[in-house]
Amino acid sequence: MNTFLKIILGGFLPILLFSCNRNEKKELVKTVDMQSITEGKFDDYVDDIDCFPLKKSEYPFFDCWKLITYKGYYYLYSLSDFMVQIYDEKGTFIKRIDSRGKGKIETPTDILINEENNQLWICDSRYKLNKYTLQGDFIESVQFSVPFIKIISVDKQRFLVYESLLAENREHLFSLYTDGLNEIKSFVEKGKISRKSPSYPPSIFTKDLDGNVYVLLGEKQMIYKYKDENLEPFISLNFQGDFLTEDKYPVQGFSDEQMSEIIKQNKYIYAIRNFGALSQKLFFKTIGKEAMYYLIDCAELGGVKFRSLFDGYIPKMTNPVAGSDGRYLYLVQKKKDLMNHYKDKECHYDAIKQIIHSDEQLDGVIIRIKLK
C-alpha cells in the first residue's frame, strides 16, 4: 500500500468508525402497519377490573380529560369544566381548583405531580404554571418564557413541555426544561404542521413503569421516545393514507367549514386520544374514519384493535381512558352512563355490578383496568 493511500485511510477510518458507533446508539425507527392489525374483543384481554366511587359533592363535574393517582389522592383535570378536582382514596371530595379564590385558574391545559417536591402543578393560560400542595392549597405561580399546553417529568429535575403551535417564532414543538424553568433544548420541527390551527389535545404524553416517556403526534403518525436528553422517533404508525397527516394540509390550512366536512364525512382519521403506557405496550384510540382502540406491543411491533371496551361499553367523555401508570388503565365515568349501558346487557365484572346496583349518588366512578 502506498504512502498516500495509508494517509487517506488513516484519517478516514476513525471518522467512519465514530460515525457507525454514534448511529448504533440511536434506536432505529420501527414501523407498524395499522391496516394489518387484527380486531379482537377487549374482554379477552382483561385480567381484572376494580371500581372506586367518587362520592357526591357540591361540585359535580361534567367531564374528565386526565386522571392522576398519587399518595392516596385522585386528581381529575377537565378543560371542559375549567377545573381540577381532588378526591381522597375513599372517594371523598377534598378540593376544587377553578376560576375562584386564591390560586385560581382560567384555562387549565394539563396537570402534573412533581414527585420530587410532592406538589400538584397546573398548566394554565399558556404561560402560567401554578403550584399547589397535594391537598390543593396554593403555593405560587410562575411564568414560562414561551407558551405551552402540556408537561411531563422525564426525571426529578427536568420536564418536557409541548408548545403546540402557540409560539409562532419557535421552530420546534417540544422543549426540555429544568425544574427552575430554564430551557435546555428543543425537539421535533414543526414542518407543515405549522399550518394547522393550535389545538388542545387531551393526551399526548405517557410514561411506563421504567420511567420511559413516550409522545404521540397523530399528524406525523409517529410515537417518539425520550432518552438521554433526546426526543427521537420510535414507532411509525402507518395508516396507509387514512390519517389526516400534515402533508394533506393545504398551504393556507383548512377552514372551519372544510374541517367540519372532513369530520362529518369521516374522510380521515383526524385525531388520537386515550394515550397510555402499560408494560411494553402502548394504548390509544383513533377518532374519525376508523374509531378504534389500539393496543400496540412495542417489542413485537404487533397489536390488536377494539371497537369498544368491557362488555361492549363505549365511553362518552372527551378522553375516557384518562390515565395510566404502567400497570393499569384508568377511566373516569358517570354512574348513569354505566347504568344506561347495562339496562339490557349482562355485566361480567363484580366491581361494576356493585356500582350499578347501588343506590348511592356519585360524582363519578374511577374504573381501573388491568390487562393480561
**Average pLDDT, stretch 71-95?**
97
Higher pLDDT: 120 or 256? It is 120
Q: What does the pLDDT read at residue 195?
A: 64
Q: Residue 4: pLDDT band by 50, 70, 90 thresholds?
A: very low
Ordered by start, the domain boundaries in the chain are 28-371
**Which long-range CB contacts under 8 A does 303-307 form with residues at least 24 apart?**
303/32, 303/37, 304/37, 304/38, 304/39, 304/40, 304/45, 305/37, 305/38, 305/39, 305/40, 306/39, 306/40, 306/41, 306/42, 307/39
Provide mean pLDDT across the span 141-159.
93
Mean pLDDT of the chain: 90
- The yes-or-no verdict on residue 15 having pLDDT over 90 is no
Q: Residue 26: pLDDT band by 50, 70, 90 thresholds?
A: low
Cβ neighbors of 168 (< 8 A, separation 6 or more) are none
With a cut of 70, say whether residue 163 has pLDDT above it. yes
pLDDT band at 27 (very low <50, low <70, confident <90, very high): low
Q: What is the mean pLDDT of residues 56-64?
A: 95
| Mean pLDDT value of segment 101-107 | 95
- Which fold, 28-371? Neuraminidase (2.120.10)
Cα(181)–Cα(151) distance, integer angstroms: 12
When mean pLDDT is compared over 112-116, 165-169, 258-262, the highest value belongs to 112-116
Average pLDDT over residues 229-249: 94
- pLDDT for the residue numbered 216: 97
Contact yes or no for 322/353 (Cβ under 8 A): no
* Count of residues making up the chain: 372
Give the H or E element holding residue 263.
helix 256-264
User: What would the mean pLDDT of 74-99 be, rounded to a whole number?
Assistant: 97
Please give the pLDDT value at position 191.
80
